[in-house]
Amino acid sequence: MGIYLLRRLYQAILVFIVVSGIVFVVLHISGDPIALLMPQDAPPSDIEEMRRSLGLDQPLVVQYGLFLRNAAQGNLGVSYHHGQPALKLVLERLPASLELVVATIVISLLLAIPIGVLAASRRGSAVDRAALLGSLVGISAPPFWIGIAFILIFCVELQWLPSSGRGTWVHLILPAGSLALYRLALFIRLIRAGMLDVLTMDFIRTARSKGVSEKKVIYKHALKNTLIPFVTIAGIQMGSLLAGAIVTEKVFAWPGMGRLFLEAIGVMDFPVIIAWTLVTASIFLTVNLAVDIIYVWLDPRIRHEK
């Protein structure tokens, strides 16, 4: 396991360098932030002074080299518009985003696993058909559209829930629910498909022939083997939620990293965009590492050193 962790750390460093390089180049060829920072009638001398103060007057290769040197020291630059360290701004919004992501995953798993198991154990029944139909609707509907529909129904018409902001757990219901609907539908289909496949295997027939109760066969033998490939998808979904929640955070005025990222794109705040990208990438890598470790717990036959 130690060798495996060292190898993953080495891979993470390479990923950071590649990702930061791609984002750095794309941002700097996409436009000039000085045009948004300075008034249109600003003298050329003032524009050049601003460009010099931000380090944008140097060749792109030199800028990237300076960025890597500073990044190794934990400095990802200063926000053009906030005047604060970009990494600090992103990390301040990180708890709100993680709160939304964790709530979404918890809701999805708590509902998807029992529904998927029930649908698989009663294949072809009304419950199974209802689960498939509901999951089809959930996969087809975009999360931002679901969020707007939730606001119209639960905030405007019924006036049950707040439409924006972050405060108590009540504020979390609508944004987490709108994000969870797609994941819930996806997880139900994955659990159902995995259970149907496992339930046809020889060891399940053997367990039943030995008189093992159906409940034990379903939850101890079949479900545990179904979770091994399912964990991969769940981990990827948790990492991608940080990026996928951007529009939802904007719809519900949720003060997370995604909303800060959208605002940074609108004003071409390069340091904030790069900081958000690297923080998101690091969380994604951490989740993938956790998934690999969970593999060993679910199936002791897996050894990462091999």
Q: Identify the pLDDT of residue 167.
A: 77
Average pLDDT by stretches of 10, the chain with 306 residues? 72 82 83 73 77 78 84 84 88 90 88 88 85 85 84 87 82 88 87 84 80 78 77 76 81 86 85 88 80 68 54
Residues whose CB falls within 8 Å of the CB of residue 228, separated by 6 or more in sequence, listed in order: 295, 298, 299
Q: Hunting for tokens 């008189």 — which residue is that?
A: 211
Decide if 237 contacts 186 (C-beta within 8 A): yes
Please give the DSSP secondary-structure letter assigned to residue 256: S
71: left (phi over 0), alpha (psi -120 to 50) or beta: alpha
Residue 56 exposed, middle or buried by CB count within 10 Å (0-12, 13-18, 19+): middle
SS3 85: strand
Cβ contact 279:12 at 8 Å? no
Q: How many CA atoms lie within 13 A of 213 on its CB side?
A: 4
Say how far apart CA 77 and CA 265 lie, in whole Å: 16
Alpha helices in 86-142 (DSSP H): 86-121, 126-140
154: which 2 tokens? 């639960």
DSSP 24-68: HHHHHHH--THHHHS-TT--HHHHHHHHHHTTTTS-HHHHHHHHH
Cα distances from 113 to residues 65, 101, 107, 273, in angstroms, run 48, 18, 10, 36
Model-level pTM?
Answer: 0.78
Whether 183 maps to a domain, the answer reads yes
Whether 65 is in a domain gets the answer: no
Cβ(179)–Cβ(103) below 8 Å: no
Q: Would residue 272 count as lying in a domain?
A: yes
- The pair of structure tokens assigned to 197 is 């496949």
Domain that holds residue 153: 86-298
Tell me how many domains the chain contains. Answer: 1
For 88-124, b/e burial (b = at least 16 CB within 10 A) is ebbeebbebbebbbebbbebbbeebbebbbbbbbeee
Q: Positive or negative, the Cα torsion across 211, 213, 218, 223?
A: negative
CA distance 220 to 222: 6
- The CATH number for 245's domain is 1.10.3720.10
Q: What is the pLDDT of residues 254-280, one digit of tens each?
A: 888 888 888 888 888 888 988 988 888
**Is residue 35 domain-resident?**
no
Instruction: State the Cα–Cα distance between residues 34 and 48, nearest whole angstrom.
Output: 9
Confirm whether 63 is domain-assigned.
no
Is residue 29 assigned to a domain? no
Per-residue pLDDT, 301 = 60
* Contact yes or no for 224/298 (Cβ under 8 A): yes
Task: With respect to residue 7, please indicate whether it lies within any of the assigned structural domains.
Answer: no
Residue 75: how many CB atoms within 10 A of its CB?
Answer: 14
Cβ atoms of 38 and 49 closer than 8 Å: no
Length of the chain: 306
Residue 98 lies in a domain: yes
pLDDT digits (tens, 9 = 90+) for 150-173: 889 988 888 888 888 787 888 888
